[in-house]
Amino acid sequence: MSYFTKRYHPPGTAPGTLVKRKKISARPLLISIIDYDATHLQEVTDATAQQCKLYLSQPTVTWVHVHGHAEPEVLRELGAIFDLHPLAMEDVLNTGQRPKAESYDGQLFAITSLPVFASKAVRTEQISVFAGESYVVSFHEGKNDPFEPIRKRLRKDTGRLRTRKADYLLYALLDIVIDQGFPVLEAFGEQIDSLENALLRNPDKRTLTALHHLKRELLLLRRMLWPQREVLNILLRDEQVPITNETKLYLRDCYDHTIQIMDLIETYRDMTASMLDIYLSSVSNRLNEVMRVLTVIATVFIPPTFVVGVYGMNFDRSVSRWNMPELGWSFGYLFVWSVMALMIGGMLLYVKRKKWF
């Protein structure tokens, strides 16, 4: 994930302007409609914006899902049909928004972040949802469709989902987006566990890089998931939001999940901080060990090397009897060895007592 993922218009652009952007995904735009009530269900895949109009007029719940790269024209068409606010549509187009929830005259608009774990990295995809009394319009630009389980549940004509109104569908969509956090964080937990083992056993530069990447991803993930708590808070507390008390019971469960996810992210962050301390301590410990060996070797061998140097000097013993008389002693050589043995022994003793060895 990059640090700056938000798309924005140049400052000064009129608010609500929908500008054509550079295509970022090759995936073509796909509108799918599911229209249902307790007794019947109709499904249109690859629909046009105009087809939505038909279903909207009926008392059934209509779910329009726009998957892929949304073109400004399609957005404008949908905006006209469902009476979407231009500021909200701008946020749909400019993905990378912070999750938020707003209500415009009885219509609810929510932006959420879908965490996706792919190829050892995590990223978030924006999912935008509009909800009225009898319709839900959702937008998603990412690769894989997270809402397939909802479709399966809808197709079965039993279950709570079919008998409730659009607000329960909205809950179901939010619930699936938020719960995607659990498998992602489970994967993170395993990464941290294995990194921790590596750290305590044999830390090297790669461990440090991995740790830094982990911290970075947790930071960015937190930035995108933290505001979801607020989104649910608004849905639960705001009096203007058109959600029944029964659905609120379920949203409360969803709210608990956002808190659990934040708890996990905070715990992970604390843990990575502690792991960096361990890394630094390990590096210091190793340096200590290296230096102890160097010092032991130097301490033991440098002094006797000086001694043998002394008796390697070439002073002319024939000139005076003061010049290196030791060289002429019968036991000079043995004497020097004894001196050196004492030196080495003393140093080893000293070093042993210091517990460097």
Residue number with CB closer to a copy of itself (18 or 52): 18
Structural tokens at position 57: 């007029």
Q: Looking only at residues 67 through 126 of this chain, which bind a copy of itself when binding is defined by CB under 8 A?
A: 85, 87, 97-98, 100, 102, 104
Give the type of residue at 188: F
Least distance CB 332 / a copy of itself (angstroms): 5
- Single out the residue of 19, 80, 327, 349 in contact with a copy of itself (rule: CB under 8 A): 327
Instruction: Tell me the C-alpha to C-alpha distance, in Å, between residue 284 and each of 205, 279, 297.
Output: 14, 9, 20
Stretch that binds a copy of itself, among 49-57, 67-75, 136-144, 251-259 (CB under 8 A): 251-259
CB atoms within 10 A of CB 328: 10
Residue number with CB closer to a copy of itself (159 or 345): 159
> What would you report as the CA-atom Rg of the chain, rounded to the nearest whole angstrom?
36
Using CB under 8 A as the criterion, what x/- string covers residues 26-65 for binding a copy of itself? ----------------------------------------
- Residue 336 found at the interface with a copy of itself (CB under 8 A): yes
Q: Looking only at residues 146 through 165 of this chain, which bind a copy of itself when binding is defined by CB under 8 A?
A: 146-150, 153, 159-161
Least distance CB 100 / a copy of itself (angstroms): 6
255-272 in b/e form (b: 16+ CB < 10 A) is bebbeebbebbeebbebb
- Residue 295 found at the interface with a copy of itself (CB under 8 A): yes
Residue number with CB closer to a copy of itself (244 or 267): 267
- Residue 240 found at the interface with a copy of itself (CB under 8 A): no
Contact indicator for 15, 53 with CB cutoff of 8 Å: no
Residue number with CB closer to a copy of itself (50 or 144): 144
Residue number with CB closer to a copy of itself (80 or 297): 297
Size of the site for a copy of itself (CB under 8 A): 123
Least distance CB 92 / a copy of itself (angstroms): 13
- Single out the residue of 30, 41, 116, 220 in contact with a copy of itself (rule: CB under 8 A): 220
Phi, psi angles (nearest 5°) of residue 256: -55, -40
Q: Looking only at residues 270 through 289 of this chain, which bind a copy of itself when binding is defined by CB under 8 A?
A: 270-271, 274-289
Using CB under 8 A as the criterion, what x/- string covers residues 164-183 for binding a copy of itself? -----------xx--xx-xx
Contact indicator for 263, 218 with CB cutoff of 8 Å: no
Stretch that binds a copy of itself, among 1-9, 31-39, 71-79, 236-244 (CB under 8 A): 1-9
Least distance CB 199 / a copy of itself (angstroms): 9
Helix H, strand E, coil C: the string for 54-74 is: HHHCCCCEEEEEEECCCCHHH
Q: Looking only at residues 14 through 33 of this chain, which bind a copy of itself when binding is defined by CB under 8 A?
A: 14-15
- Residue 338 found at the interface with a copy of itself (CB under 8 A): no
